[in-house]
Chains A and B, each alone.
Chain A
Amino acid sequence: MALDQSFVGRSYPPTTPYEVGREKIREFAEAIGDANPAYTDREAAEALGHPDVIAPPTFVFAITFRAARQVTEDPELGLDYSRVVHGDQKFAYTRPVRAGDRLTVSSTIESVRSMAGNDILDVRGEVHDESGEHVVTAHTKLVARGPEAEEAGA
């Protein structure tokens, strides 16, 4: 069931732009119960030096994870997504995501490994804005559990 090593380094074309809306940021901030005004009040965000309201640090995952489906649903890779759990997640920010951003994600398979019956896939998602400036890089580790390695995950 081991995945094909030749997929390491494979890149997928940038996604169509995702437009970040103020109300979507508000909805996300409310869902995590975070009342930081930088997420909902433009003046408060401006007072911190931002041109508009910004999104909480993990908001961008909704966009990068959707983009990672290019990888996880690649029929050539042959990942059994029903066995996949989220192993690690890391973000490296150049700047925060903010309302009005039109973001594209370019996904690359960083590594493919088999360990203890599990397939482990590292996917890097580079997020850029409309002007081509880098916003954030998302590093996502996905673990496809082998039938023998039943383990509850996220």
Chain B
Amino acid sequence: MAAKIAYADVEIGAELPACTFPVDRERLVRYAGASGDFNPIHWNERFAKEVGLPDVIAHGMFTMAEAIRVVTDWTGDPAAVVEYGVRFTRPVVVPDDDKGAAIEVTGKVAAKLDDEARTVRVDLTVMSAGQKVLGMSRAVVKLA
């Protein structure tokens, strides 16, 4: 592990640099191919509406993948993430227009867990269109 942030330098409540991640239909199709999840609710508007969704929605795992980037960008080494969990609370609706949707992620150090292991808990807030889309979004991170 080679995190560039030192445990000793981090205080509870410290905020990580926030990030906004765009998501449009093309990105969802790419993610479907890369992840192997071809559920049509993520690319077929007709199908999504037939099953009662407002429109095509992003893969929950796509949103989860974007959210942790706030942590991996902060630490430098993605391997600093030793635990990561989320609850999928609301779908990210992705309209078929020039803009698509945006996933807004903020994170802060919620606890210093273990002085010896140099682990902290980072709590993430993940929003889209003004609503929280992931709940209980937390990572345990090993710092330098």
- A interface residues with partner B (beta carbon < 8 Å): 24, 27-28, 30-34, 36, 38-39, 47-50, 54, 56-58, 61-62, 65-66, 85-93, 95-96, 139, 150, 152-154
Contacts and interface: CB of A to CB of B under 8 A. Distances in A.
Nearest to A150: B52
Contacts of B33: 27, 31
B81 A57 contact: yes
B99 interface: no
Interface string B36-62: 110000000000000011100101111
B82 to A, nearest CB: 5
Interface stretch (B5-13, B67-75, B107-115): B67-75
Q: Is the interface of B mostly helix, strand, loop or mixed?
A: mixed
Q: Is the interface of A mostly helix, strand, loop or mixed?
A: mixed
A31 B82 contact: no
4 closest A-B pairs by CB: A154-B60, A90-B85, A31-B34, A154-B88
Nearest to A91: B84
A93 B81 CA distance: 8
Given A56-B72, A58-B68, A91 B83 contact: yes
24 contacts: A27-B34, A33-B21, A34-B65, A34-B72, A36-B72, A36-B78, A48-B77, A49-B79, A54-B78, A56-B72, A56-B78, A58-B64, A88-B136, A89-B60, A90-B86, A91-B84, A92-B83, A93-B81, A96-B78, A152-B53, A152-B90, A153-B91, A154-B57, A154-B63
